[in-house]
Amino acid sequence: MKEARAGAPRFGPPIAVQIIALLVAVLIVGQLAILVVVTVMPPPRPPIYRIEEIAAALKGGRLTPRYAPAMLRTVEAAPPKGRDDDNRFRTASLRAELARTLGVTEDHVRLTVEPRPNFPLLYGGRGYHPHERQDDRGGGPPPGSPFDQGGGPPNEPPSSFGPGQVGPAGVGAFPPPGLSAPQPPQSGSDPAPPPPGADGSASWGRRHFHHGPWGGFPRGFAPDRQGFVVGAMDAAFEAQPGRWTVVRSQSEGFPNAWQRRVLLWFLACLLLLTPAGYLFARRLTAPISRFARAADRLGRDPRGPPMALKGPAEIGVAAAAFNEMQARLARYVGDRTAMIGAIAHDLRTPIARVQFKLQRAPEDLAADIRGDLGQMEAMIWAVLDFVRDASPVRERGPLDLLSLLEVVADDATATGADVELEPGPVQIVEGDASSLQRLFVNLVDNAVKYGGSARITLTHEDGDAVVRVSDLGPGLPSEEYERVFEPFYRVETSRSRETGGIGLGLSVARTIARAHGGDVTLASKESDAATGSGLIVTVRLPRPKG
Amino acid sequence: MNTMTAWQEEIEGRVLIVDDDENLRGEVAAYLAGNSFEVRTAANAREMDGILAEQSFDLVVLDVMMPGEGGLSICRRLSDAGGPAIIIMSAMGDEIDRILGLELGADDYVPKPCNPRELLARMRAVMRRREGGQGQKASEGAEFEFLGYNLDLLKRRLRAPSGVLVLLTSGELSLLTAFLEHPGRVLTRDQLVDYARGSDADIFDRAIDVQISRLRRKLSECDGQDLIRTFRGAGYMFNATVARR
C-alpha cells in the first residue's frame, strides 16, 4: 500500500485501516481493564452462616451473623415449600446438625441452601434458574460460566470442578458431589464443613477455599469445628406445631458485588476509551472540516492558498484533486481577467487619438463627444482597477485609515460632491494604500451617484476597524444586497440612468476588502422622516494584533 | 521624420514624440504644432536616437509600451545622459508605473488617454521648471526626512517613525512641503498659501488652520503641537531639522 502512494508520502493510512486499528485497540484496552479489575481487586465473598448462628436466630436470638449480612426472620404456618426436599441430600448433614443444635428432631427443622447467585434483574426477584433443580441430581457446572452451572452433564465427576473449589466433595457434612457452583459469589452451599468429629476431615474447607475464586474464608473464620452454610439460605424451625419460624438471608440488592465489578469495568473502559475516541474522531474529521473551509475559500477567491495535503490517504487524494481543481479555476479566472484587462488597455490608445482629433472638431460637437469619451474612460479605469485588484495585494503595511479616508473625502469634496467625514479615532490597519483608497473612492462615488451625498464614519468594533458610508438615496431592496457585488451587475434603475459605471465598483470594493481579510456588506438605514431612507455600506477591516 | 513648424513667429519649444501608434503620434504632433511647438516624431527607440543625433530638443513625450526598447528604459537612458526633459504618456496609467517613470528620471507623467490641454499644460510646466534653473528631476529631492518621519513627494505618502503609513490630502501635502522647504522659519498664512500654490497641487481652498490641525494630528507620533508652532498674529513655524534626499 505504501508503494501505491509513493507520490504522496504525507498521507496517513487509509480510513479503513485506522478504524480497524481503533477497534483492535479498544479490544485490547477492554481486555486489559478486565485483567486489572480481576487481578487487582479482591474477589467478593459469599455470605457464610454458621449453623450455631442460624440456630440462634431461629430461637429468636441475634440475626446478625459474623460473616454475612443480617438475616430476616418471619413466623409462618408452613415451612418453605418443597425446598427442603430438593436439597435433601445436599443439606442432610447440615440439617441434622442444625436440629441437633436446636435440640429437636430433624422433622421440625428445614434447611435450604440456594445454589444460585441471586441476581434479581436476571432471574426476576428471588427466582430460580430452571437448571437449579438439576443440582440435586448432580449436574456439574461448566467451568468459567459463573451464572449457569446447570448445563453440564448430570453426574459429572467432581474432578470437573475448578481446582481448589470443592475438592474431596462429600466429605464431612457434604451432600453428594457436584452440587456447588464454584465461581459465582453466592452460589453453592458446598463448603459445609463436617460436623465436629464426623470423620476427621473437617479441615477440607481451609484447604480448598483459601484460594478459591471467592477469595477464601474471611480472616478469622475457622471452619474446622463448626458446620456452616455458604451462600443464600433459608432455615425453618417448628417451635410449636403449625408455627414455623423462618430465617432467610437477605438478598443482596442491585448492584451486588459482581454487578458492581462489571460496572466498574465498564466505567474504566469508558474513561480510557472516551478521550481516545475523541482524538480519533478529531483526527478523522479534521481533514473534512479543512475541506469545507477550503471549499468556502474557493468560492470567495480561487487564488487562495491550496489545501494542505495531510490526513488519511483517501482524504489526501481528494485534497490533491481539489487543489488541482482550484488551480485550474484560478488559471481560468486569471486568463479571463487578463483578457478583459488587455482589451481595456488597448482601448486607451484609440480613445487618446479621438481626444486629439476632437481638437479640430467644432466645439459643440467636441464637447458632446468628450462627454462620451469621459464615460468610456471611466469604464476602462473601472475594468483595469478590477483586473488589478483581482491580482494579489501588493505592498502591505500598517496604515492610518483615518488619513486615507480624509484623502478620499477631500478629493471627493474637491470635485464638488457632498461628502462628509465624521471625526473619529485613528485606526491603524494592515493594507495596501492604493487599493484601499480605491475601495473607499468607489463606495463614496456610489453614495454620491445614487444617494446624492456620502457620510463616512470610522469606528472600531470587535477588533475590526469599521467604516460606514451612508447616503440619503432611495436605498436598495434587500434581495439585491448580494447581487450588486457580482461583477458587471447593475440594479435596474442604474442602467437607465445617466450614472455611467459598469457595475464593477462594489465588486472591486469587496475584492479589495476580502484580500485584506475584511468584507463589505450592505444594510438599509432605518427609515425616518428627517433623513429619508438610504443605504449603509459597511466595510470591516481587521486591525493588526497587539 | 516630418517636421511641423509652428505658424506663429515665436516657437515655445522643440518636442520629440516617441510612440509606436502612428495615428496617435500624428494627432499629438498636429495638436502640439498648432500650439506653437516645433514637433518631430519617432516610432521607436532607434528612430528616436537618429533624430536626437541630428538636433536637440527641449522635451521628449514618451510612450511606455513600445516594441523594441521600452519607454522606461529609454527614460533612464536619456535621463542619465542629461538629455531633454521627459514626459511619459502611457496607457499603463497605474500608480506604480507613474512612480517608476518618475523615479527613472521622467519629469512628469500623463496617463493615456489624456486631455490634450492637460498634456500641453504639463509640457509648459516642465519646460518652465527647466528654464527657471530648477533643472531638478521630479525624483530628485523628492524625499524629506525629519524626526524619523519620511515624506515621499512622488508617492504623496508620509511614513511615521513606527512604520505606519499616513496619507496626505493634496492640501496637507502642499502645506507640509512648504514647511519642509522652510524649516525653522515663521511663515505667515499668505506665505504658506503662496508656497503651496507654487507646487503641483494647487487645490488649497480649505482654511489653513484646519489643514494645520489635521497635519498636527498626522504628525502626532512626535508632538504635533511642538512640531508646528503657532506664533499668534505672525504665523507658523516648522520646528525640526529636515534632510532632503
> Would you call A356 and B24 a contact, using CB atoms and an 8 Å cutoff?
yes
Distance, CA of A115 to CA of B3 (rounded, Å): 129
Bigger pLDDT: A293 vs B221:
A293
The predicted pLDDT at position A90 comes to: 60
The predicted pLDDT at position A221 comes to: 65
pLDDT tens for residues A32-86? 888 888 888 777 777 888 888 888 888 888 888 888 888 888 888 887 765 545 5
The predicted pLDDT at position B141 comes to: 62
The predicted pLDDT at position A469 comes to: 92
Distance, CA of A237 to CA of A505 (rounded, Å): 104
Question: A124-128, A471-475, B3-7, B235-239: lowest mean pLDDT where?
Answer: A124-128
> Would you call A397 and B203 a contact, using CB atoms and an 8 Å cutoff?
no
How large a percentage of chain A has pLDDT more than 90? 7
Q: Where are the domains of chain B?
A: 13-131, 143-244
Please state the φ and ψ torsions of residue A358, each to the nearest 5 degrees. -60, -20
Given a cut of 50, is residue A161 above it in pLDDT? no
What is the rounded average pLDDT for all residues in chain B? 80
Compute and round to an integer the Cα radius of gyration of chain B.
20
The predicted pLDDT at position A405 comes to: 93
pTM: 0.55
Q: What is the average pLDDT across A402-426? A: 88
The model's confidence at residue B94, banded by pLDDT at 50, 70 and 90, is low
A88-102, A375-389, A520-534, B114-128: which has the highest mean pLDDT?
A: B114-128
Q: What is the average pLDDT across B164-183? A: 86
Q: Does domain A393-546 have CATH number 3.90.180.10?
A: no
Given a cut of 70, is residue B4 above it in pLDDT? no
Distance between A19 CA and the closest CA of chain B, angstroms: 53
Distance, CA of A185 to CA of A30 (rounded, Å): 23
Residue A537 near residue A440 (C-beta atoms within 8 A) = no
The predicted pLDDT at position A81 comes to: 66
Bigger pLDDT: A336 vs B38:
B38
Given a cut of 70, is residue B8 above it in pLDDT? no
Q: Which amino acid is present at A284?
A: L
Question: A402-411, A433-442, A484-493: lowest mean pLDDT where?
Answer: A484-493
* Smallest CA–CA distance from A385 into chain B, residue: B94
Q: Which residue has the cell 475523541?
A: A278
Q: Where are the domains of chain A?
A: 3-41+261-296, 48-255, 393-546
The predicted pLDDT at position B42 comes to: 92
Residues in chain A: 546
Which secondary structure element, helix H or strand E, spans residue A67, and what is its range?
none
The predicted pLDDT at position B132 comes to: 65
Distance, CA of A259 to CA of B113 (rounded, Å): 91
CATH number of B143-244: 3.40.50.720, 1.10.10.10, 1.20.1580.10, 3.30.390.50?
Answer: 1.10.10.10
**Cβ contacts (< 8 Å) between A399 and chain B: which residues?**
164-167
Given a cut of 70, is residue A112 above it in pLDDT? yes
Distance, CA of A82 to CA of A78 (rounded, Å): 11
How large a percentage of chain B has pLDDT more than 70? 84
Q: Which residue, among A257, A133, A264, A116, has the nearest Cα to A180 in the 3D structure?
A: A116
Q: Is the dihedral of CA B145, B146, B150, B151 positive or negative?
A: negative
CATH number of B13-131: 3.40.50.10710, 3.40.50.2300, 3.40.50.300, 2.60.120.260?
Answer: 3.40.50.2300
Distance between B236 CA and the closest CA of chain A, angstroms: 22
Bigger pLDDT: B121 vs B220:
B121
The model's confidence at residue A88, banded by pLDDT at 50, 70 and 90, is low
pLDDT tens for residues B95-144? 667 777 778 888 888 888 888 888 888 898 888 877 765 555 555 567 88
Query: Under 8 Å CB-to-CB from A288, ≥6 apart: which residues?
Result: A315
The predicted pLDDT at position A9 comes to: 46
Long-range contacts of A123-132 (CB under 8 A, 24+ apart): A126/A251
Q: Pick the residue of A353, A369, A419, A427 with the most B CBs within 10 A to test the interface with B by mutation.
A: A353
Surface-to-core class of residue A121, CB atoms within 10 Å of its CB (0-12 exposed, 13-18 middle, 19+ buried): exposed
At A283, is the secondary structure helix, strand, or coil? helix
The predicted pLDDT at position A24 comes to: 93
DSSP string, B151-213: EETTTTEEE-TTS-EEE--HHHHHHHHHHHHSTTSEE-HHHHHHHHHHSS-----S-HHHHHH
The model's confidence at residue A409, banded by pLDDT at 50, 70 and 90, is very high
For chain A, list residues whose CB is within 8 angstroms of any CB belonging to chain B.
345-346, 348-349, 351-360, 373, 377, 381, 384, 388, 394, 397-400, 403-404, 406-407, 410-411, 414, 426, 428, 433-434, 437
For chain B, list residues whose CB is within 8 angstroms of any CB belonging to chain A.
21, 23-24, 27-28, 30-31, 34, 91-96, 112-116, 157, 160, 162-171, 203, 206, 214, 217-218
Question: Which of B28, B115, B167 minimises the CB distance to A404?
Answer: B167
Q: Which residue has the cell 428432631?
A: A105
The predicted pLDDT at position A537 comes to: 92
> Would you call B167 and A356 a contact, using CB atoms and an 8 Å cutoff?
no
CA dihedral A292, A298, A303, A308 (to 10 degrees): 20
The model's confidence at residue B18, banded by pLDDT at 50, 70 and 90, is very high
Distance, CA of A251 to CA of B189 (rounded, Å): 107
**A394, three cell numbers:** 501588493
Residue A451 near residue A513 (C-beta atoms within 8 A) = no
pLDDT tens for residues A19-44? 898 899 889 988 888 888 888 877 77
The model's confidence at residue A224, banded by pLDDT at 50, 70 and 90, is low
What is the rounded average pLDDT for all residues in chain A? 73
